[in-house]
Amino acid sequence: MPTAVLDLDLKGLPTEIKGLHGYNKAFTLCRIGQKPVGSTVLPVVNGAIRMEEVYDDLLNAAGLHLQTTWLEEFCEKAGLPADNRSCSPVTIAICTRNRTADLKDCLAALQQLPNDGQEILVVDNCPSSNDTRNLVAGYPGVRYVCEPKKGLNNARNRALAEATHGIVAFTDDDARPDPGWLRALSPHFDHPLVAAVTGLTLPAELETEAQEKFETFSSFSRGFQRKIYDTDSQNPLQVGGIGAGANMALRKSVLQTAGPFDAALDAGTPTKSGGDHEYFFRLLKKGHRIVYEPEALSWHRHRRTDKELQATLKGYGTGVYAFWTKALLVDKEFSVFHLSYRWFIHEQLPNLIKAVLQRPNAIPFKLVLYEIAGCAMGPWAYLRSRRR
């Protein structure tokens, strides 16, 4: 049965939510006054949820944020000024290919952002039609650029080259950023060490089983606590937990130190993914800081069918191993052997076994297999891609 997706603000809860027929549960984002603080899954009874029954659940989901938000408000009322960090204008970049319907929703969401002088740039990567061009023509404030060289990383590099402002915020075309997205990302760049900021990505819908499986086993979400990743406390090869390119902002000037995105990696190449993670790896090695900011919220439409889900997971495996292959060959990162061993022995193999034994909450056997198959193909995919 599908799961509903709800967005509730603890400061303005209705007494009841109705119209949820066809769902038996609801994935719920909790906010306190616009700020996302936690998520939980609430039971739906007869197509409705009564707030008084789930209030405790929501408060638990908010956790310590309740106290910190309360203190912020108390201080503001008492006359203590809030921290004010300067914000520079941002270029929002959407790299897209043949997904005009999704792009339309994305652009509609971006129109809801408050005007802080941002520019919106659509990079149409190797399109097979003029649909995207025509769509963007209908948005006078949005710039259109066509990048003929196939590959998501080529599109990202083009976006960085074309961006007018010093900070570029990337969103995928199948994601809908929250109105507070930009204002949560940009203040972090006030700190000179920060090269990138990643945000929280939640599912826009959980209508199909494939989408539910993706959210359960391969979610984009990295939690509701801000995290700081520095070179001395984070293994630069283990960047999966930092975030994803579907919701990230970069300081343009890091191109000088870290170089451009690797055109041999990510979607549009045999390696399928990993281009964003390989870049995070390079940023950390150069001594930069990456911040995970959960208030930079975006809603992502996961793939709807099982086939697409399998391809996605296989692609993730390929991407990670491709990135590690590059790290080994180019940067002499010998520890990739140890990391791949650990991943297989401590995660992938146990997951396979749990699936075979049909343990509850086990990742479906097929999905683990696809991921491992993807991993196996990773190194060759990288070499093939590099030769191209």
Partner 1 sequence: MVPTHNRSRSLKRLLNGLARQSFPLSAFEVIVVADGCTDDTLQMLQNYRSPYELLWVEQPAQGAAVARNAGAAKAGSELFIFLDDDIDPSPDLVQSHVLLHSRPNKVVVGYLPLPHPQTEALYYINLWNWWEQKYQLMRNAGYRFGYTDLLSGNFSVQRSLFESAGRFDATLRCREDYELGVRLIKAGADFEVSMNAWGYHRDEVTKSNRFFQRKLHEGKADVKLARLHPELMLNLPLAQLRGPFTRKKKGLLFLLYKFPAGCDTVAKTASFFLPLFEKLRMRKAWYSGRTLLYRYWYFKGVASETKTEKVLRDLLAAGRPRAGDDFVDIDLSRTLTEQQRRIDKLRPAQLRFTYAGRVLGYAGNVNGVENIRSAQLKDLFSSAGLTAALQVETLTADTDTHKTN
What residues line the site for partner 1 (CB under 8 A)? 67-68, 70-71, 74-75, 78-81, 83, 191-193, 230-232, 235-236, 257, 285-287, 289, 331-335
- Residue 73 CB, nearest distance to partner 1 (Å)? 11
CA-based nearest residue to 169, from 185, 146, 155, 192: 185
What are the start-end ranges of the H helices in the chain?
51-62, 65-78, 100-111, 131-137, 152-162, 181-185, 209-218, 254-258, 275-285, 306-331, 335-343, 349-356, 365-387
DSSP 27-85: EEEEEETTEEEEEEEEE-BTTBEEHHHHHHHHHHHHTTHHHHHHHHHHHHHHTPPPP--
Q: Which is nearer to partner 1, 65 or 272 (CB)?
A: 65
- Residue 332 CB, nearest distance to partner 1 (Å)? 6
Q: Which is nearer to partner 1, 166 or 236 (CB)?
A: 236
CA-based nearest residue to 181, from 189, 195, 190, 170: 170
Q: Which is nearer to partner 1, 221 or 238 (CB)?
A: 238
- Residue 75 CB, nearest distance to partner 1 (Å)? 5
With beta carbons less than 8 A apart as the criterion, state whether 268 and 152 touch. Answer: yes
Q: Which is nearer to partner 1, 210 or 327 (CB)?
A: 327
Q: Which is nearer to partner 1, 68 or 129 (CB)?
A: 68
Q: Which is nearer to partner 1, 285 or 303 (CB)?
A: 285
- Residue 226 CB, nearest distance to partner 1 (Å)? 15
CA 160-163-169 angle, to 5 degrees, is: 70
- Residue 335 CB, nearest distance to partner 1 (Å)? 6
- Residue 71 CB, nearest distance to partner 1 (Å)? 5
Q: Which is nearer to partner 1, 252 or 285 (CB)?
A: 285
CA dihedral 146, 147, 151, 155 (to 10 degrees): -90
- Residue 78 CB, nearest distance to partner 1 (Å)? 5
What are the start-end ranges of the H helices in 186-305?
209-218, 254-258, 275-285
CA-based nearest residue to 366, from 264, 217, 224, 236: 217
Beta strands at 194-203 and 247-251: parallel, antiparallel or unpaired: antiparallel
Classify residue 388 as exposed, middle or buried by CB count within 10 Å of its CB (0-12, 13-18, 19+): exposed
- Residue 19 CB, nearest distance to partner 1 (Å)? 35
Q: Which is nearer to partner 1, 282 or 301 (CB)?
A: 282
